[in-house]
Structure 1
Amino acid sequence: MAASGAVETISFTALDRVFAGVMTSNLALLGMAVGRAQGSAVTGAVLALGGFGLGAGVTAGLTRRASSPPAHWSGRVTACLAGEAALLGAGAGVWAALGGTPGESARNALQFGAAAAMGIQAAAMVAAGRSAAPTTYLTGTLATYIVKGVGAGRPSRWVPARLGAMSVGAGICMAVLRTAPAWAGVLPVALVACALLAARAASGPGSGPGRGPASWSRLTRRSR
């Protein structure tokens, strides 16, 4: 969640003023850009939509036959998330080399790559099934929490934590962009890497009932 917030911050504030992982908003932004005849805004929205679609499509193909215990990510899901981290790492390297101020061509390439990374992440979480939850779009999560959680008297502590994590990731990334812009791209890479390490530790011999993604998964399912 925090990684998604960080990527969205870079995408919207420092690239093409579109979102890397929220395609609903990008479709609306595309329509507005067309209505205003703003070519650059149309380009940004199209790049984000195309990158997300490519990342999600490739991940869907790689994980289509993946299977894993309900409490853990499969090897293919983990490999796709590692690929996302590598893609974000490449983008962070380009970003740093350009001092956090890329030109138009570099911005377009970085926008496409950021959206592809979010597409990978979104599709990987879908493929993970019950052992994961949405990480790039939270409107449905919030609505479900209000209707079936708070409204039913069974609120889950994990939903506010997930919503908060996205905001925290965005806030920290914004602070880095303001103080050390060349290093902003490192944050989402580090956050995805931490998630992979945590998942690996939780699925190892030391993991058991009530620990790691298994416990988290059960709690999040109760809130749906």
Structure 2
Amino acid sequence: MPMKHAGSLRFPGGLSPLILLTAATGAMDALIFACHGQVFASVLTGNFVLLGVATVFSATTVSGPLTVIGGYLLAVLGAARWCRGDDAHRIRRISQCLMVEALLVGALAVAVALSGNQLARTLVLILASLAMGVQSATVMAADSSSPTTYLTSTFTRFFSDMAADRTVDPWAAARIGALVIGAGFGLAVALSFPDWGFVLPALLITAAAVLVAGQAGSVASGDG
């Protein structure tokens, strides 16, 4: 029995902004973990585990996981309220949230570059976690079936559907691949240009925000 394609996208702009955002997530998590304190910018499961480890091993600090969890939570609360608050202007609000995320990561990229990669670790973690929290809440408000920052369920569903129903979701596979590629490229940029590592995710998020904004403009023109 041949494999069948499955899955659908409701995210404004389709697959391209989702791929860009997922690649940015990979880059952000790789950069934060490898270069700024061995915590994750978006993988809260990992941060909760690290928080538990820190309560047992005195050599491990709880400040990093707590900072990321706190920043992520604040961003989720704000972005979710804004993106879900007005159905008539949902796409425009989604594009606005992504632009805010792009500004946060852009500010982080500039700050790290100007400080010679000596920017205070806490500030790096705050800006990164705020950005990832905005992204997670925004994507969930637009299309809860296509996350870009937590792909364990996506990975599980992809292979479960393949085994049980012989269906393949190409968009899920694309996002998983984008996460891996984004992490690799993000770290490669940081190793080659230590002060400019966050430029890559900033550009990826900006491109995604522009694509969604274009969709919002098209919808507004059609309504007019």
Please report the TM-score for the alignment, with normalisation by the length of structure 1.
0.82
1:116 to 121, 130, 133: 130
Q: Is there any run of 5+ residues in structure 2 with no aligned partner, and where? A: 1-21, 220-224
The number of aligned residues is 198
Listed one character per residue, the Cα deviations across residues 113-145 of structure 1 (whole Å, up to 9, x for unaligned) are: 101110000000111136x72010000011111
Give matches, 1:1-224, under 5 Å.
1-38=22-59, 41-67=61-87, 74-102=91-119, 106-129=120-143, 133-202=146-215, 205=218
Q: Following the alignment from structure 1 to structure 2, what is the Cα–Cα distance between the partners of residues 152 and 202?
A: 34
State percent identity of aligned pairs: 34
Deviates more, 1:195-204 or 1:121-130: 195-204
Give the partner amino acid of 2:103. Answer: A
Q: Following the alignment from structure 2 to structure 1, what is the Cα–Cα distance between the partners of residues 62 and 172?
A: 34
Q: Is the 8 A contact 1:52 1:119 kept in 2?
A: yes
Q: Is there any run of 5+ residues in structure 1 with no aligned partner, and where? A: 207-224
Shift of 1:203: 5.1
Q: Is the 8 A contact 2:102 2:209 kept in 1?
A: no
Q: Following the alignment from structure 1 to structure 2, what is the Cα–Cα distance between the partners of residues 25 and 49?
A: 11
Q: Following the alignment from structure 1 to structure 2, what is the Cα–Cα distance between the partners of residues 175 and 10?
A: 10
Shift of 1:205: 4.3
Listed one character per residue, the Cα deviations across residues 141-176 of structure 1 (whole Å, up to 9, x for unaligned) are: 111111124431110222111101011111011111
Q: CA 1:79/1:165 → structure 2, altered by over 3 Å: closer, same or farther?
A: same
Give the partner amino acid of 1:124. Answer: T
Q: Following the alignment from structure 2 to structure 1, what is the Cα–Cα distance between the partners of residues 58 and 79?
A: 34
Listed one character per residue, the Cα deviations across residues 29-65 of structure 1 (whole Å, up to 9, x for unaligned) are: 00001110236x3100100100110110111221232
Q: Is the 8 A contact 2:95 2:210 kept in 1?
A: no
Please report the TM-score for the alignment, with normalisation by the length of structure 2.
0.82
Q: Following the alignment from structure 1 to structure 2, what is the Cα–Cα distance between the partners of residues 196 and 115?
A: 18
Q: Following the alignment from structure 1 to structure 2, what is the Cα–Cα distance between the partners of residues 174 and 108?
A: 20
Give the partner amino acid of 1:93. Answer: V
Q: Is the 8 A contact 1:66 1:74 kept in 2?
A: no
- Partner of 1:74: helix, strand, or coil? helix
